[in-house]
Amino acid sequence: MTTVFDVNKVRDDFPILKQWVNGYPLVYLDNGATSQKPQSVIDAIVNYYTTTNSNVHRGVHTLSQQATDSYEGARAKVRQFINAGDDREIIFTRNTTEGINLVAHSYGRQNVGPGDDIIVSNMEHHSNIVPWQMLCEEKGANLRVVPIDDTGELLMDEYEKMLGPRTKLVSITHVSNALGTILPVAEIVEMAHAHGAPVLFDGAQAVPHMPVDMKELDCEFYVFSGHKLFGPTGIGVLYGKAEYLEAMPPFLGGGEMIKSVTFEKTIYNDLPYKFEGGTPDIAGAIGLGAAIDYVNDLGFDWITSHEEELLRYGTEALSSIEGLKIIGTAAHKSSIISFVMDKAHPHDIGTILDEQGIAVRTGHHCAQPVMQRFRIPATARASMAFYNTKEDIDALVKGIDQVLEVFS
Amino acid sequence: MAGLSDLYQEILLEHNSKPRNFRKVEEANQTADGYNPLCGDQITLYLKVIDGVIDDVGFQGTGCAISRASASMMTQSIKGQTVEKAKEIFDAFHHMITEPDGELDLDTLGDLETLSGINEFPTRIKCAVLAWHTMNAALSGESQVTTE
């Protein structure tokens, strides 16, 4: 049975939400860019630096052992959170971007050659376009782009047609950051595997909002950032199937990722350390572990039903505003509402909302090809998290009234 | 703290809804593209310069109210001026927006003074100066400029 939480009690766990901005209570609707942190995450980081700070996997002393236990404990939490089979399959990175670059540099350079194909979609974040463009340029490979329809749905027929023996990787977003579309990930994997192609999902916008299960999904790689999942910045995760990670060369060379070094030969460390060169963000990983604990306590049953209601309420409210158009109207959406207005440019919308304490993102959302697809320069985007309320949406609507007043 | 009414003055909103010289100048001999990669604002500026005088000027592109109004007002203020004078106006405008010390060269700025409230909104300064940097680039023989 779903436990129903009082959202106002949940909000009490997030000190930043009590703030006033420009004379108004903060209405934070920019969770797609980064999420706020509960007190338990802040405490975990402070506690680590106050009591445990030490380097991991190095010393024989007590603090080093405690730091190692906490760091590896965080890895186990991540593994459970995404239901992966083995801690060795969880690589800590800085963020989603680094995870994708790791796969491009390591797996990509090893396996992609002239004339091969890498498939992405028209609704990728730049971080899931540029690393592949760089790889394709280096290797003489082709970047194939699956088109989307006017609602922001992936055209699955076109995707299936693109798959073939030259497909070396399918790298697609799980949830679109600019449109909110939730992609049919199970079908994407099934079709790719039918052609022997591995799949990477950019889960940055998915993991804060819905359960993901690596065993069930069966993708080869899955990447996300800690800071969008209510954890700190500077920590991210790459999940990879062990047999893939084992076969891949290291990404960053240095300390931590080696077993032994001589000037003649270096023997690389085992998974996951092979991919974690240098001292990692230990406090970040521990903070991420605390964030996962927090999300688990709330549970996705409540989180998804609360956010679905916010999305329904917000979509209805914004749709009824004259001259406002929602960009991204897929049937299955995460709690993201991107919009444009006839009379006001997104940046003007953003400034006028900010003057009322309302934080939204404006611009191209690091997804310029999406903007080009819809022939718009930018959008304003309200992206909700579980701590948002219907009152936040009401404030947004009132804020937009002010935009209309200025540009009347 | 400046409020919205300091930023979105009537004259700015009017230039946004009816931008002046919003056209391509077919006989332009100095043009440049300005682009703000952060927000996607884009402008193409056309200058027809004869004997050191800006005989005609026009612009096209997409952007927010501030970048559009700033571009529109700029074209009005530099049309018919010498290149030297246009650079003087640039300096006065740039100073007003980026170094708000209260010292305004009102003779040089004219109506542009109404845009001074933008300096209270650091995130919008780039919007206001895009057209101006594009003009500077065009006058210096550069074809592209970006602000970020």
For the segment B4-20, what is each residue's pLDDT rounded down to a tens digit? 888 899 999 999 999 99
| Tally of CB atoms within 10 A around B143 | 10
Query: Average of pLDDT values for A175-198?
Result: 98
CB pairs below 8 Å between A and B: how many? Answer: 46
B47 neighbors B139 (Cβ within 8 angstroms): yes
Q: Which residue of chain B is at minimal alpha-carbon distance from A372?
A: B40
At B1 the pLDDT is: 43
At A22 the pLDDT is: 95
Tokens 């970048």 sit on residue = B67
A284 neighbors A69 (Cβ within 8 angstroms): no
Residue B148 has pLDDT above 80, yes or no: no
Flag the least confident range among A146-160, A171-185, A236-250, B34-48: B34-48
A7-30+299-403 shares its CATH topology with A42-296: no
Average pLDDT, whole number, for chain A? 97
Q: Facing residues of A359 across strands?
A: A28
User: Given A22, A347, A407, which is nearest B39 (Cβ)?
Assistant: A347
The fold of the B4-143 domain, in CATH, is Sufe protein. Chain: A (3.90.1010)
Enumerate the domain spans of chain A.
7-30+299-403, 42-296
Enumerate the domain spans of chain B.
4-143
Per-residue pLDDT band for A1 (boundaries 50, 70, 90) equals low
B83 neighbors B139 (Cβ within 8 angstroms): yes
Are A363 and B41 an interchain contact pair (Cβ–Cβ within 8 Å)?
Answer: no
Catalytic residues of A: 366
Q: Phi first, then psi: what are they for A238, rounded to 5°?
A: -115, 120
Tokens 């003489």 sit on residue = A140
User: CA-CA distance, A133 to A115, in Å (whole number)?
Assistant: 14
The β-bridge relationship of strands A199-202 and A221-225 is parallel
Structure tokens at B52: 């050191």
Chain B residues whose CB is inside 8 A of the A376 CB are: none
Chain B residues whose CB is inside 8 A of the A352 CB are: 4, 8
Instruction: Give domain A7-30+299-403's CATH superfamily.
Output: Aspartate Aminotransferase, domain 1 (3.90.1150.10)
What is the complex's ipTM, to 2 decimals? 0.90
**pLDDT tens column, A30-39:** 999 999 999 9
Tokens 């023997």 sit on residue = A267
B64 neighbors B80 (Cβ within 8 angstroms): no
Closest of A314, A328, A366, A295 to residue A125, by C-alpha:
A366
B66–chain A Cβ distance below 8 A for any pair: yes
Query: Average of pLDDT values for A30-56?
Result: 98
C-beta pairs of A10-15 under 8 Å, 24+ apart in sequence = A10/A298, A10/A386, A10/A387, A11/A387, A11/A389, A13/A38, A13/A39, A13/A40, A13/A294, A14/A38, A14/A39, A14/A387, A15/A39, A15/A42
Are A377 and B40 an interchain contact pair (Cβ–Cβ within 8 Å)?
Answer: yes
At A2 the pLDDT is: 66
User: Given A347, A355, A371, which is nearest B127 (Cβ)?
Assistant: A347
User: CA-CA distance, A107 to A241, in Å (whole number)?
Assistant: 12
CATH number assigned to the domain covering A42-296: 3.40.640.10
